[in-house]
Amino acid sequence: MPAPRLLPDNDVLVNLRRQGWTYADIAAQYGVSTSAVYLRLRNANATAERPSYKAMIPWTVKRAHTYAFPVQMLRLLARKEKGETLSPVRERMLTKWLREIEGANVVVAYDPECPPNPASPISGGFYYAPRADSDGKSIVRPPSVDSRKR
């Protein structure tokens, strides 16, 4: 005999999401995990597509480095360039960071083997490299350019 179904039909789940319920809200209501709710909605093609930041973040970033400050700022910049409205706090953070990058005349570079440096505000693979002519107007240095050998 199959286990009883804890989640309602997909239409009910989709309707709850449209009403603003989070996966956690739905999971708590029906006594299941948030993963169960997400998987059911994904299988029903009712989840939002995950954004791609590949144009702004050209590296394959290690999981341990995904929340480094530069990559967070690059994600915000990508969202802004796609037309998303950022919160005032995030907008100020991004503006300040971009001014600092420009003022220091550097680009963001990434080396997945770069060990974290607790004394550095940007540790875990990311570092700021002096801007070179080959960088053009970009604020990132693509992975094909080994800036450490310059």
CA 46/CA 74 separation, integer angstroms: 28
- pLDDT band with cut points at 50, 70 and 90 for residue 56: confident
| Domains of the chain as residue ranges with CATH | 1-50 (1.10.10), 63-149 (no CATH)
**Low-confidence winner among 59-73, 94-108, 109-123 (lowest mean pLDDT):** 109-123
Q: Helix, strand or coil for residue 36?
A: helix
Residues contacting residue 126 through CB under 8 Å, at least 6 positions apart: 65, 68, 69, 70, 71, 108, 109, 110, 114
| pTM attached to this predicted model | 0.63
CA 112/CA 8 separation, integer angstroms: 44
- Cβ proximity of 90 and 72 under 8 Å: no
Count of Cβ atoms closer than 10 Å to residue 80 Cβ: 15
Which one is predicted more confidently, 145 or 66? 66
- pLDDT band with cut points at 50, 70 and 90 for residue 21: confident
